[in-house]
Chain A
Amino acid sequence: MKKFIITVVGHDTVGIIAKVCTYLAGIQVNILDISQTIVDGYFNMMMIVDAGKVEDMTKMSEELTKLGEEIGVIIRCQHEDIFNMMHRV
């Protein structure tokens, strides 16, 4: 399992989760968990996904950034280790 964290930050609009999920389904990425919160009036969503079937992570990351630009939000995809390292001893 290759766990990545996808975050979406921006103004809340119709279909953000739908579009991200459609893209992920298309490249065989399984969503393990979704949570969301509002911080300073901005919509924040976090997905934990298993990208075990994705060969080129850089490409996936770039495509998600592009998708974010189309929707008008910031989408970022990061390996879970950066969060584990920083927040777990």
Chain B
Amino acid sequence: MINIQEVLETNKMIDQENLDVRTITLGISLLDCIDSDLEILKKKIYEKITATAKDLVSTGQAIEAQFGIPIVNKRISVTPIALVGSAACRSAEDYVELAKVLDDAARTVGVNFLGGFSALVSKGMTKSDKLLMQAIPRALAVTERVCSSVNLGSTKTGIDMDAVKLMGEIIKETAEYTKEQDSLGCAKLVVFCNAPDDNPFMAGAFHGVTEKDAVINVGVSGPGVVKTALSEVRGENFEVLCETIKKTAFKITRVGQLVAQEASKRLGIPFGIIDLSLAPTPAIGDSVAEILEEIGLEYAGAPGTTAALALLNDQVKKGGVMASSYVGGLSGAFIPVSEDQGMIDAVQAGALTLEKLEAMTCVCSVGLDMIAIPGDTSPAAISGIIADEMAIGMVNQKTTAVRVIPVIGKKVGDMVEFGGLLGYAPVMPVNPYSCEAFINRGGRIPAPIHSFKN
């Protein structure tokens, strides 16, 4: 039988160490909504989302009450809209119309974000992919809850450099369209290499075409719990350190597994995966950077940071994998800057640079995330940053991503406030030298030799 110490330990994690289930994300396939008539398509999309997700928020709340564990977000991901809209959309403006429908549906069912205003162009862009990408700046400016992502490369296909070039321009344009709100639109836009089909986390969630009609994916969190556990093994060797992370990750993931099973049962929708990512928030003590400090670094970014992050990421996976029947998504440790107080402090202290963050993305679960850069950064420079990150993902057979925010009107050292879970960030310097001729070459970077495993 459960004893009082175990009960107190769990409740301490929830009360004092910010243990929560970060998101229940309901993936919904919109493939059966496809129609050549835009008006009919819009109607079908709205009806499918609102019917499938009508009980999502109330079910999430009921599970919160039953187990006494906060479920911070209830969200939806849909089939990449470039596929769904290809028969009906003749212009970028048509895609903006679809974004508005998604926003309306999200508002109706009460979710805070809906992901899937997306295109998968790792080898090349269709006409409709291109139209959707051109629609992104306006779509993110006129909607509140829609998130957008574009997959630009993979280990199997190489990197579509035409799309990388275009996305540099699109990110800049998105920043311009939302410049009154510190270019907030870019916080809802991410580009990927090796994007997974079952990621529950925003802004990059979409419902992959390999998925069922509807599926529940759950993202767990808990950097604060790991940090507290590590504070009890200060000075111990790496074996003890790794064991502690593993055990803690196991416990955190078990809560996610429980919530996922319960949500699946109550909604009558199959359980997909648990994403066992350590996802920080701006709250004090809910920081991945503070875990790195606890491991033994003065600041995130100090020499040794990449090694510390590598072991953290690996131990989180090892502990989590046994705790859940299906693990997927991004799984590991996120390193967003604006959403992590320890990262913000490290940037302000001069300990953490864009280049060090890039090195860290080789071993973290995703990539360059929520980084504010000067508003006058050129589209080509943004494309260059993206190309570097895509290359890391392609060669290392891992998911990488870029979510940078060129904040219009702001320069290095200025602070930018995004609000809520998106946090705030100091504007970081970008290497000033040009990569224009490289980006302008056009075409695609071939897949690496080790992708040929057949």
A residues with a Cβ closer than 8 A to B are 5, 7, 9, 33, 35-37, 39, 44, 46, 48, 57-58, 61-62, 76-87
Q: List 9 contacting pairs A-B, 8 Å CB cutoff, sorted by A.
A: A9-B11, A39-B8, A44-B8, A61-B66, A78-B69, A82-B69, A84-B2, A86-B10, A87-B251
B8: min CB distance to chain A, Å: 6
CA distance A86 to B67 in the complex (A): 12
Tell me if B277 is interfacial: C-beta within 8 Å of chain A.
Answer: no
A17: min CB distance to chain B, Å: 14
CA distance A85 to B322 in the complex (A): 12
CB-CB under 8 A for A81 and B258, given A7-B11, A57-B65, A61-B65: yes
B187 partner residues in chain A, CB cutoff 8 A:
none
Using CB atoms, name the residue of chain A closest to B262: A81
Q: Find out whether the CB atom of B1 lies under 8 angstroms from the CB atom of A78.
A: no
How would residues 242 to 260 of chain B score, 1 for a CB under 8 Å from any chain A CB and 0 otherwise?
0000000001001101100
A44 partner residues in chain B, CB cutoff 8 A:
4, 8
Q: Find out whether the CB atom of A78 lies under 8 angstroms from the CB atom of B8.
A: no
Tell me if B6 is interfacial: C-beta within 8 Å of chain A.
Answer: yes
CA distance A34 to B77 in the complex (A): 44
A5 partner residues in chain B, CB cutoff 8 A:
2, 7
Q: Find out whether the CB atom of A77 lies under 8 angstroms from the CB atom of B6.
A: no
CA distance A62 to B61 in the complex (A): 13
CB-CB under 8 A for A82 and B6, given A48-B1, A57-B66, A61-B65: no
A58 partner residues in chain B, CB cutoff 8 A:
62, 65-66
CB-CB under 8 A for A37 and B4, given A58-B62, A79-B66, A82-B67: yes
CA distance A37 to B62 in the complex (A): 30
Q: Find out whether the CB atom of B2 lies under 8 angstroms from the CB atom of A85.
A: no
A37 partner residues in chain B, CB cutoff 8 A:
4-5, 8
CA distance A87 to B6 in the complex (A): 7
CB-CB under 8 A for A85 and B8, given A48-B1, A48-B2, A80-B2: no
**Residues of B42-78 contacting chain A, CB below 8 A:** 62, 65-69
B250: min CB distance to chain A, Å: 8
In the complex, the 7 A-B pairs of residues with the closest C-beta atoms, listed nearest first = A78-B68, A82-B67, A85-B254, A87-B6, A46-B4, A85-B258, A58-B65
CA distance A86 to B9 in the complex (A): 10
CA distance A56 to B258 in the complex (A): 20
Q: Apart from A46-B8, A58-B62, A78-B67, what 15 extra A-B contacts exist at CB < 8 Å?
A: A5-B7, A7-B7, A9-B11, A37-B5, A37-B8, A44-B8, A61-B65, A62-B65, A82-B258, A83-B6, A86-B10, A86-B251, A87-B6, A87-B9, A87-B10
Tell me if B3 is interfacial: C-beta within 8 Å of chain A.
Answer: yes
Q: Find out whether the CB atom of B65 lies under 8 angstroms from the CB atom of A82.
A: no
